[in-house]
Amino acid sequence: MAGLPIKDDILSEEKNFSYCATLSEIGTQSKRSSHLEDFFPLMNQASIAWVDIKVDDLQKEATGIAIKAGFSNEIVKQLLTRSTEGSQFHGGYFDFDTEMGLLFPVIRVIGFNVTISPLLVLLKNGLILTIRNRETHIYRNLHRYAETYFRRLPQDLEVVDWLTLVLIRIIDENNERNFDQLQKIDEGSEDLTKNLRSDNCTRDVGDQIVHMKQAVVSYFSGLWETLDTINSLRNGDADLMSCEAQVLDKTSLMVREVRDQLSLVEHLSEILASSLECFQSIFNNQLQEKNNLLQDRNNLLQEKNNQLADLNNTLQERNNLLQERNNQLQEYSNQLAEKNNHLQLTNNQLTSVNNRISVLNNKLTLLGGFLAIIAAGFVVPNTIATMLSQTNIFQFSPADMGWYLALIFISTIIATLVVWIWVKKKGLLPKKEEGESLIIESGNQRDA
C-alpha cells in the first residue's frame, strides 16, 4: 500500500478514519480504520510505527487509547491536565525515560475566532502515537506520503534516530497547518483596511480591530507554547531522542521557522496597534466633528430658544397690558354698576313716592266719588223739598207728613244708587286690587 489517490485521502479524512503507517523488515505499510485494534498486527511486526488516532472527546478517550497502545496512565494524565480547549493553551513535555509525552497546539481560525485544540504525541521505543480531536487539521500530505517518508529514512541510523525524524516530520506538518491560519487572520484584515480607508469609519471597525488583536494574541500564545516544547527537544537529552547532529539540526530549523512566524505575528500585532491608534484618531476626529455639529445645532437651538424667550417676554408684556386694561374696564364696570345701583335705588325711591301719590290719589278719588254720591243723594231730595216748600203752590197739612217723608227718603236712595252705578260704570272709582298692590309695592321698595 505505497499510497492512495488524493481523492481517497480526502474521503478518508472526511470519514474521520484513524491512520497507521509502519516500517518493518518487509517494507512499509499503512492502513485506515476507525478502531485502534485493527492496527495492532502492523504495529507488532514494525521496526517503527506511527498511529494517528482521531477521537470525539480527548479528555474521555485519550487515556484508554494510550493504555491499549502500551503507554502508562500517568503520562497521559500529566498531558491532559495541561490540555484545554479554547483560545488559551499550555504546551507540555514529559520524559519518563522509556516513554515520553508531548503536547502541541492545533490552531484553527474562523473569521477572528481562534480555537486551539491539543495534539497529544506519545513516544516509546519504535512507536509514535498521536491523539487529536476530529475538528483538528487534515494532515493530508502526512498521511499520503508517510510510507514514502519511511522508505527514505537513512538506513545507517538507529531506531531512536528514525523515531526522532518521524516526530520532527509530524511536528513540522502540524506547524505548517498552524502557519496557514495566520493567512486567514491576514485575509480578514483586508476588509478592515477598506473600512479604515472609507469616510464612514464606525465603531464596528474598532470592534473588528480589537477582535483581530485578540485573535493574534491567542495565535501568538499558541506559537510560543510550540516553541517552548520544541526547545525541549532540540538538545536531544531524552533517551528517546536522537543525539545525531544532522537530526537535531532539523529541530533547530523548526525553531527558526517558529521564531520567524512569531516575528510575523509581532509585526502584524504592531500593525494592528497602529491601526487601532489610527482608528482611534479617525474616530476621535469624527466624534469631534459630530461634537462640533452638535455644538452648532445647540447654538442654533439656543438662539431659537432666546428668540422664543424674547417672543414670550413680548407676549407677557402684552398680556400684562391687556390685564391692566381689563382691570381698568373691570373698575369702570364696577363704577357703572355702582351708578346703576344708585340709579336703581333712586328709581325705586321715585317709584315708591309715585306709588304713595297713586295711593293718595286713589284715596282722594274714592273720597271724591263717595262725596259725589253723597252729594247726589242729598241734592235730589233737597231739590224736591225746595220745590214743595213753595206754599203759594203746594198746601200741606199735617196729614201729608207721611208720604212727604217717604218721597224724600225714596228719592234719596234712588238718586244715590243711580249716581253710584254711573260712577262705577265710568271707572271713576279705583279698584280694590290696584290699591292693595300699590300699597304692597310701596312697602317692598321701602324695605329695599
Tell me the pLDDT tens digit for each residue of 134-169.
Answer: 888 778 788 888 999 999 988 888 888 999 999 999
Question: What pLDDT is stored for residue 288 in this prediction?
Answer: 84
Domain assignment present for residue 306? The answer is: no
Summarize the confidence of residues 120-139 as an average pLDDT. Answer: 89
Partners of residue 116 on adjacent β-strands: 86, 107
More confident residue, 200 or 131: 131
Q: How far apart are CA 217 and CA 360, in angstroms?
A: 126
Question: What pLDDT is stored for residue 7 in this prediction?
Answer: 46
Give the C-alpha distances (Å, rounded to integers) separating 269 from 184, 190, 410: 15, 15, 155
Domain assignment present for residue 419? The answer is: yes
| Domain edge (last residue) among 155, 181, 207 | 181
Question: What pLDDT is stored for residue 202 in this prediction?
Answer: 60
Domain assignment present for residue 336? The answer is: no
For residue 89, what are the domain limits? 6-181
If you average pLDDT over every residue of the chain, what do you get?
A: 81
Q: Among 337-346, 371-380, 417-426, which is the least confidently predicted range? A: 371-380
User: What total number of domains does the chain contain?
Assistant: 2
Domain assignment present for residue 272? The answer is: no
Sheet containing 113-124: which strands, arranged edge to edge? 27-33, 18-24, 48-55, 127-133, 113-124, 99-110, 92-95
Summarize the confidence of residues 395-420 as an average pLDDT. Answer: 78
pLDDT band, residue 393 (cuts 50/70/90): low
pLDDT digit string, tens, across residues 88-97? 566 788 989 8
Question: What pLDDT is stored for residue 100 in this prediction?
Answer: 93
Q: How far apart are CA 112 and CA 89, in angstroms?
A: 17
Question: What pLDDT is stored for residue 80 in this prediction?
Answer: 86
pLDDT band, residue 242 (cuts 50/70/90): confident
Q: Would the pLDDT of 317 be above 90?
A: yes
Task: Enter the C-alpha cell of residue 301.
Answer: 437651538
Q: Is the dihedral of CA 398, 404, 409, 410 positive or negative?
A: positive
- Identify the CATH number of the domain in which residue 159 sits: 3.30.460.20
Cβ atoms of 49 and 22 closer than 8 Å:
yes
pLDDT digit string, tens, across residues 275-288? 667 767 776 777 78
Question: What pLDDT is stored for residue 371 in this prediction?
Answer: 77
Summarize the confidence of residues 58-69 as an average pLDDT. Answer: 92
| Domain edge (last residue) among 121, 148, 181 | 181
Summarize the confidence of residues 384-398 as an average pLDDT. Answer: 68
More confident residue, 212 or 389: 212
Domain assignment present for residue 219? The answer is: no
| Domain edge (last residue) among 132, 152, 181 | 181
Domain assignment present for residue 287? The answer is: no
* CB < 8 Å & 24+ apart, contacts of 364-367: 365/428, 365/429, 365/430, 366/429, 366/430
Question: What pLDDT is stored for residue 17 in this prediction?
Answer: 86
Q: CB-side exposure of 66: number of CA atoms within 13 Å?
A: 27
Domain assignment present for residue 204? The answer is: no
Rounded to the nearest 5°, which phi and psi values hold at 314? -60, -45
Q: Among 41-50, 128-137, 373-382, which is the least confidently predicted range? A: 373-382
Q: Would the pLDDT of 118 be above 60?
A: yes
Domain assignment present for residue 293? The answer is: no
Question: What pLDDT is stored for residue 441 in this prediction?
Answer: 58
